[in-house]
Amino acid sequence: GQQVMQIPQYQHVQEGEDFTTYCNSSTTLSNIQWYKQRPGGHPVFLIQLVKSGEVKKQKRLTFQFGEAKKNSSLHITATQTTDVGTYFCAGPGTQGGSEKLVFGKGTKLTVNP
Amino acid sequence: DVKVTQSSRYLVKRTGEKVFLECVQDMDHENMFWYRQDPGLGLRLIYFSYDVKMKEKGDIPEGYSVSREKKERFSLILESASTNQTSMYLCASSGDRVSADTQYFGPGTRLTVL
């Protein structure tokens, strides 16, 4: 079945260091979405990428969608303690209706102040 | 702003009890979802609904059922709770005009089955 893989599963950085998480889909995606879950919280939508090769920025966060629309990355420049949490990527399901999202297992980021 | 609410943040039940988890969304979304989240396993889809009275099984439906009698409300039912159903349960909805499949999550219910 359709799979979305994320690496790494965990990442620990010193405050000020950069961080990148990678997402790979077994199928071509019409779009990819990124969510952030703070400790004790729930996933919150960050952004959606639709076009092949698309790059979007949100302050220190840079999101990329691969040319083949099968992979994506999230890069955080100069991490801060507020970046702590688990980052999930998700793509529309290809089986049955498109209402479903298939989520990666997430990358848990911890930041040492 | 989309608001998704869940009936309880924390719930403790005994093995064999029937458990109801309720979710309400206020954005007139067509789609609603129930996930469970366990450490190292990510978000696993239990059931989803794309319309009133319509439901489809997700990846792990065993031991669960759902009910959607009204568009805004989606209930998850554990017919006979077991200890391996101790988990965080997250409800979500989608169906925004701007991005149909972006999901908005509720705060979650942490269920403990003793």
How many whole angstroms separate alpha carbon A110 and alpha carbon B49? 35
The predicted structure's pLDDT at residue A99: 76
Residue indicated by tokens 């997430």:
A106
Is the separation of the CB atoms in A61 and A78 below 8 Å? Answer: no
State the 10-residue block means of pLDDT for chain A, 113 residues long.
93 98 95 96 96 97 97 98 97 74 96 95
Q: Return all residues near B98 (Cβ < 8 A) that are at least 6 apart.
A: none
Q: Which residue of A has its CA nearest to B38?
A: A105
* Interface residue B2 vs chain A (CB under 8 A): no
Residues A43, A4, A53, CA angle at the centre, nearest 5°?
Answer: 90
CB pairs under 8 A between A and B: 54
Which residues of chain A make contact with B109, given a CB cutoff of 8 A?
A: none
- The pLDDT confidence band at residue B101, using thresholds 50, 70 and 90, is confident
B5's enclosing H/E stretch is strand B4-6
- What are the DSSP calls for A67-82, one per residue? TTSSEEEEEESS--GG
The tokens describing A81, both together, are: 């303690």
Residue B40 has pLDDT above 90, yes or no: no
Q: Which helix (H) or strand (E) holds A58?
A: strand A55-58
Radius of gyration, CA atoms only, chain B: 13
Contacts of B41 in chain A (CB under 8 A): 105
Residue A36: closest CA among A63, A2, A65? A63
Number of neighbouring beta carbons within 10 Å of residue A40:
9
Do A105 and B41 count as a contact with CB atoms less than 8 A apart?
yes
Which residues in chain A are closer than 8 Å to B23, comparing Cβ atoms?
A: none
For A42, the closest of B41, B45, B108 (CB atoms) is: B108
CA distances from B7 to A15, B43, B108 (A): 37, 20, 9
| CA-based nearest distance B89→chain A, Å | 10
What is the pLDDT at residue A19?
97
B44, closest residue in chain A (CA to CA): A103
Digit-coded pLDDT (tens) for B84-93: 999 999 999 9
Give the percent of chain B with pLDDT over 90.
88
The B residues from 13 to 52 touching A (CB cutoff 8 Å) are: 30-31, 33, 40-43, 45, 48, 50
Q: What is the pLDDT of residue B81?
A: 98
- Could you give the C-alpha distances from A83 to A12, B21, B23, in angstroms and in order? 11, 31, 28
Whether residue A8 is preceded by a cis peptide bond, meaning omega within 30 degrees of 0, is yes
- Residue contact A105–B40, C-beta within 8 A: yes
Query: How close A105 comes to chain B (CA, Å)?
Result: 4
